[in-house]
């Protein structure tokens, strides 16, 4: 999704969030058509105003009801309201992938979604890949192949890799290089990421 | 056991040192549990947003922040520049607002009424004539030696060329910023994204009238710095002031556009260069004039040209700084070196082409003009690199390697140097009675693997597993450490930790000797045991328990020492293999070889990562990354991650990192690695493109348009 508004982001003026805010009624109405009953607090009537309303998110297996404005992005809701700070704000323009989460299993830039339109969907953040000493193989692979330096883009890259491997368990190196092209790392850790993905893509055509 | 001397173990005895060890904080980082300043959400935290000036040069004519204050949920407003103040670049900070939620803060920013009086601007940093005409050029600095005119007259080959490299930004993934909690008792708790944990408290205390001992700085993780995060900056002070005014904690992180426009950049450099050789390919004369901008202050990059080969006897150089309406430059990985390398190694490559010489042979032949200490290293590294990239088979004269199709392939190389002296760091080491070891210091991990390096040094010294070592960095309450800049950290922390660990170990050996009636001089620690000769004396835990009920503490604050643990000065050779599509102008990376020395290697895995990451950063400024200033409006028009192009995982080709580690390297001590490998990629890739297509693309980054323009111009 690209809007011309995204070109000029900072400071006063028309922004993407205004655009999302304006279109949120339509977006939310679509989402709500299939949403479970428990999300009824956020009705189409509510989202036509900018007032905070109850928004229920299903995150990492737990339900959370937040009182937030319809314009709040999924990224801000996760980071600021639920303190799930593994997803990072880096570009804020749907470009870099640092905020990648799984939305119904699909890799999604959390900065590109309003929280309200994610009701009734299963949200998984990177925090769900670790439970004490139990760690997802993608995290283990990133550590083993040193797919990180400063680590700020890493959780987003981990989630993109998890989703990619779920959908492409037999990926080749070329598949990986296009399939993980949605994430940017400034420190330059791509080789470790690719090696991790290659190792986990068992049975792939090397 | 040898005499009690401060030294690293003999290379062959190392269990962990120099091996590929995974970083000990890797799971924390990869699982999102590591907390950066941008992640701090203590209870009651307010969110700040910024108003910036969008004009390149203006005076604030009107500023009314009252409408912002009236918005429900807004708790504090800070004015950076009030009526009458000047903004000197697009992105200059005007005001900040702290509110219950970021979206409310953004509403408040929009409510601020501001008007500017526009003033004349200049941003055309590659246009020396225009800068002189606009009164923006400083007086040139010159430096001359020998007799250039005579040497040029007598030279067998003279090459003249124009070269350049655009300004770039640091583009830290985590923008600059902090979370500040100014408490009623006069203490200030700061979570700061900083390369300088120990050195920043005073930057708050003085201006804010606080006692420095009441300022707590925490930075356990930092999302990139690259030289731009040593100061707290005006937004750092503002965050603290907003917190004081609101009586609540405040988080102020720059938005992406402001990060690019106002949080540092690397100066541009453009040059006219004349270089000459005798009939054998020896460089006999160098004459250059370079210009560029460091922003408003108008300095240019260091005038130390030619890079590396300054042993050339006849050399004139001139540098002209240009003042532009752009943010002031900051240290960017290996300050000045990437530009100097890009100007020098490209001109020398063109000289080789004009002579009809293999580029590698020209560089090799002229090593007698390089610093003496590095000549053998360069020669060795060139041989290694040439083999890895198959230089002798694959290299061809410029422009003669593509066949009839549109895709042309070529090889190029460059070389670099950096100091990397250790910074002054201290450590408080504790050996606990249960045998665990902790190490606290006010340093930071920029991604180099600081914690891991320290843990390896300690585990190796005590003969214990990494899991028995706890390393704490990132708090200014711990012993003082230098900032992480200039490849100084790994050397800086490894020396004190080794010294402190040896001192502790020797004390424990004395206790063991007394208890078990053995000669302390015969003792060694390995495999969680204490040995005398080949005999096991006791376990490490038994030995550690002898310290009593309190931990054995050793403070090592001697800082940098000439005791052989660390060293300074590295070389490095890099070679690129590229394909150029002459119809589209797109350059693709096929392979990149980086051969790098860095003295004693502590963790081979993170060392290799450091080199590889630097190469990728170099590929960025070689091919796609640049700050684009619009001459007409004076604005930084690509200040976002969509249009400020960085390579992605599929854009970097195969990268081969070869750590150059003969025993002479191991024996000279640890040298930092953050800067050197980022220097050469620009020139190496430019030379590979010239080798492929037979013409020089004079200015980096070599975007498709610049490649096509060069092909149309046809000038070598």
Summarised one tens digit per residue, pLDDT across range B252-299 is 999 999 999 999 999 999 999 999 999 999 999 999 999 999 999 999
Kindly tell me the sign of the dihedral angle through the C-alpha atoms of A173, A179, A181, A187: negative
Specify if B272 maps to a domain. Answer: no
| Same structural domain, B469 and B538 | yes
Which residues of chain A lie closer than 8 angstroms to B31, CB-CB? Answer: 86, 126-127, 129-130, 135, 139, 155, 158
Shortest Cα–Cα distance, A172 to chain B (Å): 13
Contacts of A83 in chain B (CB under 8 A): 41
* Rounded Cα distance, B177 and B255, in Å: 10
Closest CA to B526 of B514, B539, B515, B513: B539
The answer to the question of residue B124 being in a domain is: no
Which CATH number belongs to the domain containing residue A92 in this structure?
3.10.20.30
- What is the overall mean pLDDT for chain A? 82
Whole-number pLDDT of residue B276: 98
B2: in domain: no
pLDDT along chain B (716 residues), means of 10: 84 98 98 98 97 98 98 98 98 98 97 98 97 96 96 98 98 98 97 98 97 98 97 98 98 98 97 97 97 94 91 96 97 97 98 97 98 97 98 95 88 97 96 98 97 98 98 98 94 97 98 97 97 96 98 93 94 98 97 98 98 98 98 98 97 98 96 97 98 97 98 71
Task: Tell me the H-state helices in chain A.
Answer: 16-33, 44-47, 74-76, 137-144, 154-167, 173-179, 190-200
Indicate if B463 and B586 belong to the same structural domain: no
- Taking an 8 Å cut-off on Cβ atoms, the answer to whether B173 and A153 are in contact is yes
Q: Chain A closest CA to B162's CA: distance in Å?
A: 30
- Is pLDDT of A33 > 60? no
Indicate whether A95 and A11 sit together in one domain.
yes
Domain count for chain B, please give it: 3
Q: Is residue B125 part of a domain?
A: no
Chain B positions touching A191 (Cβ under 8 A) are 612, 652, 655
Select from A161, A82, A152 the least CA-distant residue to A129.
A161
Q: Is the peptide bond before B701 cis (omega within 30 degrees of 0)?
A: yes
| Residue B5, domain member (yes or no) | no
For residue A205, being part of any structural domain is answered with no
The contacts of residue B599 (CB under 8 Å, 6+ apart) are B566, B567, B570, B665, B666, B668, B669, B670, B671
Last residue of a domain, one of B253, B280, B303: B253
Q: Which pLDDT band holds residue A11 (cuts at 50, 70, 90)? A: very low
- pLDDT bucket at A7, cuts 50 / 70 / 90: very low
ipTM (interface predicted TM): 0.96
Beta bridge partners of A130: A135
Same domain, B41 and B27: no
Has residue A115 been placed in a domain?
A: yes
Q: Phi and psi for B486 in degrees, rounded to 5? A: 75, 25
Task: Kindly state the DSSP code that residue B563 receives in the 8-state scheme.
Answer: S
B498 and B641 housed in the same domain: no
Closest residue in A to B39 (Cα–Cα): A85
Residue A54 domain flag: yes
CB contact under 8 A, A150 and B52: no
Q: Which residues does chain A have within 8 Å of residue B173's beta carbon, measured at their own beta carbons?
A: 88, 90, 96, 98, 150, 152-153, 184-187
Q: Give the structural domain span for B612.
A: 335-420+568-713
Picking from A103, A125, A147, the residue at the C-terminal end of a domain is: A125
Cα–Cα dist B217/B196, whole Å: 10
- The shortest CB-CB distance from A146 to any of B22, B54, B101 is to B22
Q: What is the pTM of this model?
A: 0.94
Q: Which residues in chain A are closer than 8 Å to B21, comparing Cβ atoms?
A: none
Residue B275, class by beta-carbon neighbours within 10 Å (0-12 exposed, 13-18 middle, 19+ buried)? buried
Q: Is the pLDDT of residue A21 over 80?
A: no
- The answer to whether A161 and A74 have CB atoms below 8 angstroms apart is no
Regarding whether A138 and A96 lie in a shared domain, the answer is no
Asked if B221 reaches chain A (Cβ–Cβ under 8 Å), the answer is yes
Does B447 contact A143 at a Cβ distance shorter than 8 Å?
no
pLDDT for res A36? 40
Within a domain: B318: no
Cβ neighbours of B179 in A, within 8 Å: none
Report whether pLDDT(A42) > 70: no
Q: What per-residue confidence (pLDDT) applies to B20?
A: 98
Q: Kindly state whether residues A32 and A76 are assigned to the same domain.
A: yes
Task: Check whether residue B84 and residue B199 sit in a common domain.
Answer: yes
Residue that the structure tokens 């219950």 belong to? B100
Q: Which residues neighbour A160 within 8 Å (Cβ) at sequence distance 6 or greater?
A: A97, A100, A107, A180, A182, A183
Domain hosting A160: range is 132-200
- pLDDT, tens only, A150-189: 999 999 999 999 999 999 999 999 999 999 999 999 999 9
Min Cα distance A84 → chain B (Å) is 8
- Cβ atoms < 10 Å from Cβ of B297: 13
Which member of B35, B41, B606 has the closest CB to residue A146? Answer: B606
Nearest to B439 by CA among B476, B469, B463: B469
**Helix, strand, or coil (residue B716):** coil
Query: CB within 8 A of A202, min separation 6: which ones?
Result: A169, A170
Instruction: Please tell me if residue B333 touches chain A, with a CB cutoff of 8 Å.
Output: no
In a domain, A206, yes or no: no
Q: Indicate whether A151 and A78 sit together in one domain.
A: no
The per-residue pLDDT for A94 is 94
Does B642 lie at the interface with A, CB-CB under 8 angstroms? yes
Q: How many domains does chain A have?
A: 2
Partner-chain residue, chosen from B32, B54, B615, that has the shortest CB–CB distance to A86: B32
Q: Residue B46's domain is classified under what CATH number? A: 3.90.1170.50
User: Given B530, B556, B582, which residue is the final one in a domain?
Assistant: B556
Residue-wise pLDDT for B405-462, tens only, equals 999 999 999 999 999 999 999 999 999 999 999 999 999 999 999 999 999 999 999 9
Peptide bond into B306 cis (omega under 30): yes
Q: What is the CATH number of the domain that holds B633?
A: 3.30.365.10
Residue B675 within a domain: yes
Asked whether residue A39 carries a pLDDT value surpassing 80, the answer given is no
Smallest CA–CA distance, residue A116 to chain B, in Å, is: 15
């Amino acid at each position: 999704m690209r809007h011309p508004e995204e070109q000029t982001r900072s400071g006063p003026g028309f922004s993407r969030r205004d655009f999302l805010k304006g279109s949120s009624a339509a977006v939310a109405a679509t989402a709500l058509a299939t949403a479970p009953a428990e999300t009824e607090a956020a009705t189409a009537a509510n989202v036509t105003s900018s007032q905070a309303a109850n928004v229920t998110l299903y995150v990492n297996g737990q339900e959370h009801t937040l009182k937030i404005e319809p314009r709040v992005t999924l990224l801000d809701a996760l980071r600021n309201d639920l303190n799930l700070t593994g997803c990072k704000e880096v570009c804020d323009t749907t470009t870099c992938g640092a905020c990648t989460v799984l939305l119904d299993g699909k890799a999604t830039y959390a900065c590109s979604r309003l929280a309200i339109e994610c009701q009734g969907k299963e949200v998984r953040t990177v925090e769900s890949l670790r439970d004490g000493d139990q760690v997802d193989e993608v995290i283990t692979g990133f550590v083993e192949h040193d797919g990180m330096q400063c680590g700020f883009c890493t959780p987003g890259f981990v989630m993109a890799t998890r989703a990619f491997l779920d959908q492409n368990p037999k990926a080749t190196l070329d598949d990986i290089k296009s399939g993980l092209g949605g994430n940017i790392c400034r420190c330059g850790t791509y080789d470790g990421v690719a090696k991790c993905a290659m190792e986990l893509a068992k049975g792939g055509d090397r | 056991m040898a005499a009690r001397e401060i030294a690293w173990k003999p290379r062959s005895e190392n269990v962990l040192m120099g091996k590929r060890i995974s970083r000990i904080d890797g799971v924390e980082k990869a699982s999102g549990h590591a907390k950066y300043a941008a992640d701090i959400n203590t209870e009651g935290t307010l969110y700040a947003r910024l108003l910036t000036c969008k004009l390149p040069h203006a005076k604030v004519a009107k500023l009314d922040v009252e409408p912002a204050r009236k918005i429900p949920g807004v708790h504090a407003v800070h004015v950076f520049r009030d009526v009458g103040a000047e903004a000197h670049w697009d992105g200059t900070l005007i005001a900040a607002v702290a509110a219950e939620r970021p979206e409310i803060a953004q509403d408040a920013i929009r409510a601020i009424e501001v008007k500017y009086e526009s003033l004349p601007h200049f941003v055309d940093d590659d246009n020396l004539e225009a800068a002189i005409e606009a009164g923006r050029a400083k007086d040139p600095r010159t430096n001359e030696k020998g007799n250039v005119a005579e040497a040029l007259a007598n030279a067998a080959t003279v090459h003249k060329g124009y070269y350049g490299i655009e300004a770039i930004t640091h583009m830290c993934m985590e923008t600059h910023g902090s979370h500040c909690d100014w408490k009623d008792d006069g203490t200030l708790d700061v979570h700061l994204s900083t390369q300088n944990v120990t050195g920043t408290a005073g930057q708050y205390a003085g201006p804010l009238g606080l006692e420095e001992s009441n300022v707590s700085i925490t930075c356990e993780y930092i999302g990139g710095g690259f030289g731009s995060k040593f100061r707290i900056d005006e937004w750092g002070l503002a965050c603290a002031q907003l917190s004081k005014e609101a009586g609540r904690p405040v988080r102020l992180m720059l938005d992406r556009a402001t990060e690019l426009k106002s949080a540092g950049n690397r100066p541009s450099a453009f040059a006219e260069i004349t270089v000459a050789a005798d009939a054998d390919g020896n460089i006999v004369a160098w004459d250059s004039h370079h210009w560029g901008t460091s922003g408003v202050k108008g300095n240019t990059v260091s005038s130390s040209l030619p890079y590396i080969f300054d042993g050339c006897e006849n050399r004139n150089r001139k540098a002209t700084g240009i003042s532009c309406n752009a943010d002031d430059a900051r240290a960017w990985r290996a300050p000045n070196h990437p530009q100097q390398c890009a100007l020098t190694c490209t001109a020398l490559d063109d000289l080789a082409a004009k002579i009809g010489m293999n580029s590698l042979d020209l560089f090799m032949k002229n090593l007698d003009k390089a610093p003496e200490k590095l000549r053998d290293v360069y020669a060795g590294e060139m041989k290694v690199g040439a083999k890895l990239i198959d230089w002798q088979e694959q290299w061809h004269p410029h422009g003669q390697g593509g066949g009839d199709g549109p895709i042309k392939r070529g090889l190029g190389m460059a070389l670099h140097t950096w100091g990397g002296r250790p910074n002054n760091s201290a450590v408080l080491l504790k050996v606990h009675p249960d045998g665990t070891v902790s190490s606290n210091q006010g340093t930071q991990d920029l991604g180099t693997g600081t914690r891991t390096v320290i843990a390896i040094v300690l585990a190796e010294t005590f003969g214990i597993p990494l899991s028995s070592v706890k390393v704490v960095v990132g708090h200014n309450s711990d012993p003082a450490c230098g900032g992480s800049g200039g490849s100084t950290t790994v050397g800086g922390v490894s020396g004190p930790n080794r010294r402190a660990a040896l001192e502790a170990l020797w004390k424990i050996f004395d206790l063991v000797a007394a208890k078990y009636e053995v000669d302390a001089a015969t003792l060694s620690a390995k495999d969680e045991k204490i040995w005398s000769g080949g005999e096991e004396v006791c376990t490490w835990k038994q030995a550690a328990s002898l310290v009593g009920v309190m931990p054995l503490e050793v403070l090592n604050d001697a800082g940098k020492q000439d005791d052989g643990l660390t060293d300074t000065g590295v070389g490095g050779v890099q070679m690129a293999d590229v394909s150029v599509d002459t119809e589209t102008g797109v350059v693709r990376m096929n392979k990149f070889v980086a051969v790098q020395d860095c003295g004693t290697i502590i963790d081979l895995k993170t060392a290799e990562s450091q080199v590889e990451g630097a190469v990728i950063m170099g590929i960025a400024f070689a091919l796609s990354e640049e700050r684009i200033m619009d001459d007409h409006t004076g604005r930084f028009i690509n200040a976002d991650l969509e249009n400020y192009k960085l390579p992605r995982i599929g854009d970097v080709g195969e990268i081969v990192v070869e750590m150059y580690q003969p025993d002479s390297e191991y024996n000279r001590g640890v040298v930092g690695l953050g800067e050197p490998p980022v220097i050469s990629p620009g020139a190496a890739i430019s030379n590979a493109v010239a080798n492929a297509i037979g013409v020089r693309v004079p200015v980096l980054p070599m975007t498709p348009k610049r490649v096509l323009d060069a092909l149309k111009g046809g000038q070598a």
